[in-house]
């Protein structure tokens, strides 16, 4: 289940209801899928062939279509990152810049872990959302954020898009952002 860390205060928020309430106030969508639906052999697999990616999409077909119908997503795919990903360090360096998009960024984690760092309301500042399998998040359009991996450096996620062009990153220069 997702956990929140507020960077200014080091406060942590856990438990589904608390996390959902906090994220709702920050206008970040949070939902949960049952990661146990995935065949056991895919729970810890981070190098995926096309067939395995399709298997993940088929497993969560109902959840994906429900989310898409509610929120207008038209296409979806699978992203898998691990130390086996070519140029992972370079890729992460690129990811770890605060940016915005013209459409929301939605990710459903199906294996592994990841963090979204999001600029919250002025009273909260930047906060981390630590995600694990089953967590579904949508960072609203125009909300400054970035994504990175956690220490295990492994993740598989479903990405959903309205238009793939909407996902282009626009750098957001922010002097108030402290890396930590």
- Residues found near Fe ion in the complex (CB under 5 A): 105
What is the C-alpha to C-alpha distance for residues 51 and 60, in angstroms, rounded to an integer? Answer: 14
> 135-139 and 145-148: which strand pairing?
unpaired
Given the complex with Fe ion, which of 9 and 97 has the nearer CB atom?
Answer: 97
Name the minimum Å distance from CB 87 to Fe ion.
Answer: 18
99 is in an annotated binding site: yes
Name the minimum Å distance from CB 89 to Fe ion.
Answer: 18
Structure-block tokens of residue 17 = 């209801």
Name the minimum Å distance from CB 107 to Fe ion.
Answer: 9
Cβ atoms of residues 152 and 114 within 8 Å = no
Name the minimum Å distance from CB 65 to Fe ion.
Answer: 23
What sign results for the dihedral spanned by CA atoms 2, 134, 148, 77? negative
Buried b (16+ CB within 10 A) or exposed e, 64-88: beebbeeeebeebebebbbeebeee
Given the complex with Fe ion, which of 105 and 135 has the nearer CB atom?
Answer: 105
Given the complex with Fe ion, which of 6 and 95 has the nearer CB atom?
Answer: 95
Given the complex with Fe ion, which of 26 and 59 has the nearer CB atom?
Answer: 26
101 is in an annotated binding site: yes
Residue set of the binding site for Fe(2+): 99, 101, 105, 145
Residue set of the binding site: 99, 101, 105, 145
């Amino acid at each position: 289940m997702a956990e929140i860390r507020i960077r200014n205060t080091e406060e942590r928020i856990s438990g589904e209801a608390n996390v959902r309430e906090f994220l709702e106030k920050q206008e970040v969508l949070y939902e949960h899928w049952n990661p146990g639906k995935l065949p056991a052999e895919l729970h810890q697999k981070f190098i995926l062939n096309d067939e395995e990616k399709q298997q993940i999409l088929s497993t969560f077909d109902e959840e994906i279509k429900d989310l898409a119908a509610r929120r207008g997503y038209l296409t979806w795919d699978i992203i898998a990152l691990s130390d086996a990903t070519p140029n992972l360090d370079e890729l992460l360096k690129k990811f770890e810049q605060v940016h915005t998009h013209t459409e929301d960024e939605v990710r459903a984690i199906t294996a592994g872990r990841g963090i979204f760092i999001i600029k919250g309301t002025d009273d909260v500042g930047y906060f981390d959302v630590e995600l694990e399998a089953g967590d579904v998040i949508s960072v609203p359009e125009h909300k400054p954020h970035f994504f990175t991996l956690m220490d295990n450096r492994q993740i598989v996620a479903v990405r959903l898009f309205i238009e793939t062009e909407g996902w282009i990153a626009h750098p957001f220069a922010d002097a108030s952002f402290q890396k930590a």
